[in-house]
Amino acid sequence: MGVTPRQYAENLRMQTLKEDLRSGQSVTDAIYSAGFGSSSRVYYQADTQLGMTPKQYRSGGAGIEISYVAHQTALGLILLGATDRGLCFLEFGESEEDLLESLQAQYPKAKKVPMAEPYSDEFARWMESLSEYLAGARILSRVPLALHGTAFQLKVWTYLQTIPTGTVRTYSEVAEAIGKPAAVRAVASACAANRVALLIPCHRVIRGDGGLGGYRWGLHRKRTLLEVEREATLRNQCGTEGSIVA
């Protein structure tokens, strides 16, 4: 799985916490029913697992401000959304209007505002990293993620992050790796449900016959990502300066 048993257990507790918060439980009840021994542990993990405090997450983002910005990349338009705690949204789309509708569906009560210019140095560095990643030139910087899904989806997405750059796995291989060899279709569904492009690399999962299978943001993007990563990996193996990892 690429994580320790303790890390995996904490991921499952965090997923249960998210589900309980979305169902309307109080923050305190949700924390302890999820198996956390104290609230301090949850708030320590909030930045990297929720992108906001548990109370804000429970309320659909009420009381928080999400800054968003559309950016044209080599693979088309993307929309990024961030709170003051980190990135909470990253998707490809055909128009900014469609992407804003998707952001609204995920955080219906949050205040959404266009990201003010000049952009922060941190954001500029991440966008530079993204552009160079898509060009096959460097590592894509990691940022806090807000993952929404079932325990099974979380298990799949955790495994996907361990697939080395420049390689692929079949849906069957992913199912076997997570201990659910009969759940091939469920693995494919979990890949399709991923809403964090690139950082959860579902583009590295293909069909057993070598076909690309599906991709939420279009097969042309999946094909390009695989080609970019494969070529970059080959250059790195030949001693060319630079590497790419997502």
**Other C-beta atoms within 10 Å of 57: how many?**
25
**Other C-beta atoms within 10 Å of 84: how many?**
11
- Going by C-alpha positions, the residue among 41, 67, 42 that lies closest to residue 53 is 42
Distance of CA 121 to the CA centre of its chain: 22
- Distance CA(31)–CA(117), nearest Å, equals 38
Tokens 């992050």 belong to which residue?
A: 161
- Written as six digits, the tokens of 117 are 């210019």
Tokens 């959404």 belong to which residue?
A: 112
Let me know if 202 is a catalytic residue.
yes
- Written as six digits, the tokens of 43 are 């708030």
Torsion of CA 214, 216, 221, 226, to 10 degrees: -60
Residues 6+ apart with CB under 8 A from 38: none
Catalytic residue among 88, 191, 202, 238: 202
- Going by C-alpha positions, the residue among 83, 71, 89, 84 that lies closest to residue 129 is 71
Q: Which residues are catalytic?
A: 202
